[in-house]
Chain A
Amino acid sequence: MHIEPLRPEEIRDAELLELIRRCEELGVPDSLFPRILARAPAHAKALLRALLLSHTEGNVDHRLKEIIRVRLARIAGDPYFGGLRSAQAMQAGLDEETIAAGSGKFEDDPRFTAAEKWALRYAREMYLNPETVDAAFYDEGKKHYTEAQIMELGAFIAFHYGMQAFARTLGARPLPRNEG
């Protein structure tokens, strides 16, 4: 680890502790990334709030966001976020096979709806071929999603990819499950 996380007993800010607890409960992130961020406490609180809100709230299926999040981590080359799983998504029925399918050739996969395929393309193309995410692409998205949902997806993709790009440089890996 290139930046050591604070030890749990070194974090005394109640709001930050509660955010870390919520992250551990969700499983994304586990406590490691929050305890690294906790070295800059004001930033940690804003970033963790945004990670949790963008992933678990809004009007886009959390399971779809979880598939997208893992795909993005693979694009970013980040084994930390790529190795984490949302307990909420898994409890809602998401499985590893579907997560893997979302990172593969999903275009012809009948398990995904046309709307989900557009969202998966959105995440894939945003950082691999951003020039293809043009007006026609957004027009296609509007057939499946409201503009509010598209902004929710776009902001989710941008934020999580950005944190994955940072996490990759930290040399972080998911904690064993019982260390949460």
Chain B
Amino acid sequence: MALDPDQIGPEFYDELRRHYSEEEIVELGAFIGFNIGYHTFFGTLKFYPMFSPDGRLVSQDESARIYGEKPASLEKTDQTADEFFSIPP
């Protein structure tokens, strides 16, 4: 949906129906769309998680060091959707 929406046609939805009800597909689609929209917006605001992975309340500067200055949502990619979501060996 985010990287290659033309791939999502009737066959894709038929495949989804083998695994999920139509209610679940709508729930997933809306959730994904919501995240596509909001993560890029949040990325432009340059804010970072309030807590470190071990649960400490940290400053925004420290959080940026921990989690990375540039969110993945702002990275341009030439990868295909399959490459983007593949799990490294």
Mostly, the B contact residues are: helix
Mostly, the A contact residues are: helix
B38 touches A158 (CB 8 A): yes
A39 touches B30 (CB 8 A): no
A160 touches B37 (CB 8 A): yes
Q: Nearest CB to that of A125 among chain B residues?
A: B44
Report how far A165 CA is from B33 CA in the complex, Å: 6
Q: Nearest CB to that of B31 among chain A residues?
A: A43
B27 adjacent to chain A (CB < 8 Å): yes
For the complex, count residues of B whose C-beta is within 8 A of A: 32
A126 touches B26 (CB 8 A): no
B49 adjacent to chain A (CB < 8 Å): no
* 17 A-B residue pairings within 8 Å (CB atoms): A2-B12, A36-B26, A37-B26, A40-B23, A43-B27, A47-B30, A126-B41, A131-B74, A133-B44, A154-B44, A161-B36, A161-B37, A163-B34, A165-B33, A166-B32, A169-B12, A169-B29
B interface residues with partner A (beta carbon < 8 Å)? 1-2, 5, 8-10, 12-13, 22-27, 29-30, 32-38, 40-41, 43-46, 73-74, 76
